[in-house]
Structure 1
């Protein structure tokens, strides 16, 4: 295990009232990243999946860095317990700061915001702006219909195969951790 900084940005939901299994998945990811001494970079919220992720990471001895906009500080109930909480003036600045701090990206099942973040970081990877790993952790197959549709776009030449294959879908946290260990090495 290395002492060198390795930060993982986790995109996940801050919506209330979602399937508790998804919230539990976020907590499992937070715990696993902390045990690997990987820094958790999040959207800076303290509720739902975001809150479960960062609380679990800190409970396991990990470091959390939250990036949130001024507008969302009150709306998402900012994670004021974060080891570092950065407040930006816009979503564009927020995402840029999350991107800048991260060595890898993990996407958990989420809604429009999570999907927007997934597509942006995936697109910039496909354009060659970065070569950092992208992982979707989806034990329930929630995103399977979406990825089937995207595979169809790839088959029609609308998405380059190398861009499509840059995103790895995994079904469990132990597999994610093995992939992240390899990426860090």
Structure 2
């Protein structure tokens, strides 16, 4: 049974394969996290460990981060040695994230799509968001992304409005 786990070097091979899938996928834009992997981490074991440490450190407010930085908890959706997706819970929102981005963003690797993983990942993330003090999670989705809209609505998402090309939803975390 898949579960949300902390990023780990133990899933390096599967993570790198997932990044390659995301980058090769012509049906969807490459998710930002797949572009954010440090180049050396794609080839070196030690550099990958440094990358995992960096991702885990993003949970904490830290001196010296960019002004736009928002602490976030990144988790991987995994089953055994397979990384199936990733999810990030932003601990707070900026005005820009209120329009596009929201509290929670998720991505399922192309080879694992259409198997219910996104719906299950979001359901598993909501209690974690609640533990971070988020009583209602704001999620945003492209107007044309019907599959993701369904994921949000299945998890109790209540449509708020559309800002530009993004639909916004409140999702209860309890």
Question: Could you state the TM-score of these two structures normalised by the residue count of structure 1?
Answer: 0.34
The structure whose residues are more often helix, as a share, is: 1
Question: Could you state the TM-score of these two structures normalised by the residue count of structure 2?
Answer: 0.36
